[in-house]
Structure 1
Amino acid sequence: MTDFLLDDDFDLLVTDGDLVVGESTAQHQKMLILIDKGELKDVPMRGIGAQRYLEDDSPENLAREMRLEFSFDGMKVNKIQIASDLTIEIDANY
């Protein structure tokens, strides 16, 4: 998927005075993972709020929520794996 790109602070990425457009699937995934439900005015039921899962004993709960949200957003989810060190491997795309 192509969209306007954001920098690390989620501000619009601008180069030479122009907005930058590019592949944005990973950016959309990151945003869905970080935002809580209710934070997006247009789609208030979207968002995972990964911070709520930090003390969860089962990373599978977070993986399940990610699968659901990515699917609701229109992605085909092939694989989501969360390792014991909490690194996340995502194979999902539009």
Structure 2
Amino acid sequence: MEVQIANNDVVIGTSDAQHQLLLLLVAKGGFKESPTATVGAQNYLESEDPADFLREVRLRFSHDGCNISDLNFDDNTKRLNISASYAN
């Protein structure tokens, strides 16, 4: 993520994408006030079947109030695709 500058000032926008990235990457227990809130994606790196990982992503995002409209793992490109938003 890059800092955007316009008119000699920092552009402020929504932080949804950054928050979702933190939920994915922070290890379990990484948020001391809510130790089970995160996915801890690094724990799934050597997994042969992404089903457990996708289930955990869906569970943690929904507990955080995020609505997932599309979630899949592309075996060919090894990319995680998430389309999700927070209810306003």
TM value normalised by structure 2: 0.80
1:30 aligns with one of 21, 25, 46:
21
Residue identity opposite 1:39 in structure 2: G
Q: How does 1:5-44 map to 2 (within 5 A)?
A: 21-44=12-35
Flag structure 2 segments of 5+ consecutive residues without an equivalent. Answer: none
Partners of 2:26 and 2:12 in 1: CA distance: 22
Provide the aligned C-alpha RMSD in A.
Answer: 2.0
Q: How does 1:54-69 map to 2 (within 5 A)?
A: 54-69=45-60
Helix, strand or coil at the partner of 1:66 = helix
Flag structure 1 segments of 5+ consecutive residues without an equivalent. Answer: 1-6
1:91 aligns with one of 61, 78, 83:
83
| Structure 1 residues 39 and 82: CA distance shift in structure 2, 3 A | same
TM value normalised by structure 1: 0.75
Q: Is the 8 A contact 1:82 1:88 kept in 2?
A: yes
| Structure 1 segments (4+ residues) deviating >2 Å | 13-16, 18-21
| Structure 1 residues 65 and 19: CA distance shift in structure 2, 3 A | same
Helix, strand or coil at the partner of 1:21 = coil
Between the aligned residues of both structures, percent identity stands at: 39
